[in-house]
Chains A and B, each alone.
Chain A
Amino acid sequence: MSNGQAIQSAAAAPRRRGFSQHMNEVSLFVAIVVLYVVFTTTANGFMSFNNQINILRDAATIGIAAWAATLIIISGEIDVSVGPMVAFISVALAYLLQWGIPTPLAFVLAIVVGAALGSIAGILRAYFDVPSFVGTLGLWSALRGTALFVTDALPVSIGRNDIVDMLDRPVLGVPPAAIIMLLLFAVFAFVSRKTAFGRSVYAIGGNPQAAFLSGINVSRIRVMLFAIAGAMAAVSGILLLSRLGSGNATAASGLEFDVIAAVVVGGTALSGGRGSMLGTLLGVLVITLIGNGLVLLGINPFFQQVVRGLIIVVAVLANIQAIKRGAARNKG
């Protein structure tokens, strides 16, 4: 009786929550527009077709890893092993191809290896209570070290390979990496909103104990998340190989920080339980645009890092303020 009324009257009340829920995405979108305006007016060739394609391709490097990282961070964990994982997989794949393993099979193996390596951190977290920062830091060091040790820091060439080359050949002007990134985005957005797995990730990040007592298999989901992150890093590794034409142990250096920055700029809380794929997509664009624009502006590469650091912090700060204002308006 009384509760039925409560629901009805609330449904009749104006639904202001919808807007404030998307405050984060709206403010990021504004930031992207601002970046476009600034770079278009100041950086030569920013709006050229070629450069826009470059942006998309660069976005793919960060984006594919960032989709998985978003789920990991929503679940209250962190993965710092992305860069070395990508480099390691590109090297491993290069060797597989050198040994004459059929290319499609080599791709599958690369993804399996990535998932297996990632799940190591997941198992350490889920069953042995090793914090994911520590587990993935171990991977970060060990994978980079192994790749460098095995290759002596030299590129591992794969020679001519049609399938690999095809992955770097634009389709109607769009690089396959960008298409793969967008397809995976759709998959991750769907999974995060529309599947029990995705909602369980939010529940675990919001309160792992409550999630467990509600019957969610917390340990298995944690392992799966890191396995997925490993697999996504492997996809990036495959694309890296196709772009460079060789496996490269020194590549993707510092990628993990771009990935985490994109997720955080996208409004996902490092404390877990809160975040969205759309936010991360916009965050990836922000990070990529900044990188691209600063290069075009001819800013000293060392100083670029300073500017990037500043912009990331300011973006997150502005985002938090916007969400707070939205929440306050919603209350009042």
Chain B
Amino acid sequence: MTQTASKSRIEPAAGTIAALEGCTKRYPGVLALDNATLRIAPGEVRALLGKNGAGKSTLIRLLTGAEAPDAGTVTVDGAVLVHSGSARAQEAFGRGVRVVYQELSLVPGMSIAENLFLGRWPRQAGVLDYARMEAEAREAMQRLGLDMPPSDLVAGLSPAERQLVEIARVLLGKPKLVILDEPTSSLAAAEAEKVMAAVKRIAAEGIAVIYISHRMNEIRQIARSATVMRDGRIIDTVDVAGADTREIVRLMLGSEAAQSAALETRAHGKVILEVADLALAPKLSAVSFKLREGEVLGIAGLLGAGRTELLQAIMGVRPFDRGRISVDGKDVRRPGYRAMLDRGFGYTPESRKEEGIVPLLGVDENTVVTDFSAVSSGGVLSARRIAEATRKVVARLHVKTADTDTPIGTLSGDNQQKVVIGRWVHAGSRVLLLDEPTRGVDVEAKAQIYAIIRQLAAEGRSVIFVSSEIEELPLVCDRVLVLREGRLMEEFTSPDIDQDAVMAACIAGH
């Protein structure tokens, strides 16, 4: 059954554990999946690439039995899924299909072992059997290289460790196919290594893995082949080792080729922000730098290097111990968040869901919230002006939304992020501090965010751009500062921002 003609350049290794054969899925108005064929071998790590909306989620939903295809078959572990409705999902689950989603679903106040068995804790005579629970938990954790006691609280774990606990939970059910949906999107490079090492381990056990990620360098490390999707179709499955990154990006984007944000070097204006000897124990020590008008300043560093703390200290959200911040040559005497906004600063937080958006409110109100007075007359909000201001931001940042008053919670993460940046464009901020603005954002949206940052700089605004994806820094920044363990270690200036050198500066000493 696996010997039908396949477009893929790589033949299935030894048999097939899961397969879609000619699957089509249509939702009202959308052809979500168009005649897709995909075969995964046991022990294979298959990368799944595509911008948001390319059909990756639909493909996953077919594999997990959450949906049945309109045409075509889904085969798991040697048998075609036949049921419909919720029985279908149980069928796929019973055959060993598991998904680890991006959004973590752990209870921080409970132990690792309790989390692994959440809701189906082993019992003996009605009493929880902790001995058995922890023994089985330890076994699953060891398979992933997690070596802390299973009785430790999840609250004390790093983000990467939490992600591994999620994977361990899935391992308890003896899976045949594990689907990982952007498992590293919220992790810094060094942390992501742990997750990738764990993925290699479970693949070595013969478990098939589908790995969704936007990070090409990760995919190169763990996957042999990558399936690229676009507009509901499987475009190609390429041999990762032999494929050029630009080639893969071209496959993902199709005709709308990646815009390269070519940097024109030019003289920057006067110093707008000066930070001198800023210290915030134990996160930052003696950080000094200047930011000029029209300059994009990148800040690189691993998770925990103090990047977020630096931005928050500048914005007055987090009090600092020592040091001086001056804006336009004048010392900021009593730093406070609202005072910084009044000075023309804007800040987008790292976690846009938790701190960035008000999900129930429309795109419009999420945009104009930074400056209501610009859309009011005589203290009364004007619906017309709100719509106009929103349309401006929507057009400028390429936000895809049905309407200006669509609740922002219903938009994709990419578009939410654009609105969170756009609200400072609405406010007319002249200095933007962006904390990981491209995290979890697809390739196309990333290119758009780079372009908008460059445009803002060309208008004379200044941007501080924090990123843990080092490959994007040379695309956007005039200058990059490397932060390591709370200190500024090195400075790179465009066009001499070398990825490898930046990476080395980030991790030196580790």
Q: How far is the CA of A6 from the CA of B400 in the complex (A)?
A: 7
With both chains docked as a complex, state the minimum distance between the C-beta of A149 and any C-beta of chain B, in angstroms.
42
Q: Is the CB of B360 within 8 A of A195?
A: no
B361 CB-CB contact with A under 8 Å: yes
Choose one: B317, B358, B372; the contact of A207 (CB below 8 Å): B358
Choose one: A3, A7, A214; the contact of B369 (CB below 8 Å): A214
Q: Is the CB of A199 within 8 A of B398?
A: no
Q: Is the CB of B361 within 8 A of A214?
A: no
Closest to A4 in B: B395
Q: Give a binary string over B351-385; 1 marks a CB under 8 Å from any A CB, 0 the rest.
A: 00011111111000100011111001001110000
A interface, size bucket: 20 to 34
- From 39 to 77 in chain A, residues with beta carbon under 8 angstroms from any chain B beta carbon are none
A196 CB-CB contact with B under 8 Å: yes
With both chains docked as a complex, state the minimum distance between the C-beta of A329 and any C-beta of chain B, in angstroms.
12
Q: How far is the CA of A25 from the CA of B372 in the complex (A)?
A: 28
* Among listed B200-208, B401-409, B461-469, interface-contacting one: B401-409
Q: Is the CB of B359 within 8 A of A6?
A: no
Contacts A199-B369, A215-B370, A215-B427 hold; do A2 and B357 have CB atoms under 8 A apart? no
Closest to A15 in B: B403
A210 CB-CB contact with B under 8 Å: yes
- From 1 to 49 in chain A, residues with beta carbon under 8 angstroms from any chain B beta carbon are 2-4, 6-7, 10-11, 13
Q: How far is the CA of A215 from the CA of B340 in the complex (A)?
A: 10
- Taking CB atoms, residues of chain B closer than 8 Å to A273 are 358, 360-361
With both chains docked as a complex, state the minimum distance between the C-beta of B415 and any C-beta of chain A, in angstroms.
9
With both chains docked as a complex, state the minimum distance between the C-beta of A153 and any C-beta of chain B, in angstroms.
45
- Taking CB atoms, residues of chain A closer than 8 Å to B399 are 3
Q: Is the CB of B401 within 8 A of A203?
A: no
B interface, size bucket: 35 or more
Contacts A3-B400, A211-B369 hold; do A206 and B358 have CB atoms under 8 A apart? yes
With both chains docked as a complex, state the minimum distance between the C-beta of A309 and any C-beta of chain B, in angstroms.
29
Q: How far is the CA of A61 from the CA of B180 in the complex (A)?
A: 57
Contacts A195-B380, A211-B369 hold; do A202 and B361 have CB atoms under 8 A apart? yes
- Taking CB atoms, residues of chain B closer than 8 Å to A216 are 369
A209 CB-CB contact with B under 8 Å: yes
Contacts A6-B401, A199-B365 hold; do A214 and B423 have CB atoms under 8 A apart? yes
Q: How far is the CA of A195 from the CA of B28 in the complex (A)?
A: 38
Q: Give a binary string over B397-427; 1 marks a CB under 8 Å from any A CB, 0 the rest.
A: 0111111101000000000000000010001
Choose one: B360, B365, B400; the contact of A274 (CB below 8 Å): B360
With both chains docked as a complex, state the minimum distance between the C-beta of B192 and any C-beta of chain A, in angstroms.
26
With both chains docked as a complex, state the minimum distance between the C-beta of B230 and any C-beta of chain A, in angstroms.
15
Q: Can you spell out 11 A-B residue pairs with CB atoms less than 8 angstroms apart?
A: A3-B398, A7-B402, A199-B361, A199-B381, A200-B369, A200-B372, A206-B358, A207-B354, A212-B337, A213-B355, A215-B427
- Assuming A202-B360, A215-B369, A215-B427, what are 18 further A-B pairs, CB within 8 angstroms? A3-B400, A7-B391, A13-B402, A194-B380, A194-B381, A196-B373, A199-B372, A200-B369, A206-B361, A209-B354, A210-B355, A210-B357, A210-B358, A211-B358, A213-B347, A213-B348, A216-B369, A273-B361
Q: How far is the CA of A217 from the CA of B342 in the complex (A)?
A: 12
With both chains docked as a complex, state the minimum distance between the C-beta of B398 and any C-beta of chain A, in angstroms.
5
What residues make up the interface of A, taking CB atoms closer than 8 Å to B?
A: 2-4, 6-7, 10-11, 13, 193-196, 199-200, 202-203, 206-207, 209-217, 273-274, 332
Q: Is the CB of A215 within 8 A of B381?
A: no
Q: How far is the CA of A211 from the CA of B404 in the complex (A)?
A: 19
Q: Is the CB of B394 within 8 A of A195?
A: no
Q: Is the CB of A206 within 8 A of B401?
A: no
- Taking CB atoms, residues of chain A closer than 8 Å to B404 are 7
- Taking CB atoms, residues of chain B closer than 8 Å to A213 are 317, 337, 347-349, 355-356
Q: Give a binary string over B268-281; 1 marks a CB under 8 Å from any A CB, 0 the rest.
A: 00000000000000
Q: How far is the CA of A299 from the CA of B373 in the complex (A)?
A: 54
Q: How far is the CA of A2 from the CA of B401 in the complex (A)?
A: 11
B338 CB-CB contact with A under 8 Å: yes
B146 CB-CB contact with A under 8 Å: no
- Taking CB atoms, residues of chain A closer than 8 Å to B348 are 213
- Taking CB atoms, residues of chain B closer than 8 Å to A7 are 391, 394, 401-404
Q: Is the CB of A206 within 8 A of B380?
A: no
- From 318 to 343 in chain B, residues with beta carbon under 8 angstroms from any chain A beta carbon are 337-338, 341
Q: Is the CB of A206 within 8 A of B402?
A: no
- Taking CB atoms, residues of chain B closer than 8 Å to A3 are 394-395, 398-401
A-B CB proximity, top 6 nearest? A196-B372, A206-B358, A10-B402, A209-B355, A214-B369, A207-B358
- Taking CB atoms, residues of chain A closer than 8 Å to B28 are 332
Q: Is the CB of A203 within 8 A of B361?
A: yes
Q: How far is the CA of A6 from the CA of B398 in the complex (A)?
A: 10
- Taking CB atoms, residues of chain B closer than 8 Å to A209 are 349, 354-355
Q: How far is the CA of A227 from the CA of B370 in the complex (A)?
A: 25
- Taking CB atoms, residues of chain B closer than 8 Å to A212 are 337
Q: How far is the CA of A27 from the CA of B365 in the complex (A)?
A: 27
Choose one: A195, A199, A206, A217; the contact of B359 (CB below 8 Å): A206
With both chains docked as a complex, state the minimum distance between the C-beta of B452 and any C-beta of chain A, in angstroms.
13
- Taking CB atoms, residues of chain A closer than 8 Å to B406 are 10
- Taking CB atoms, residues of chain B closer than 8 Å to A217 are 338
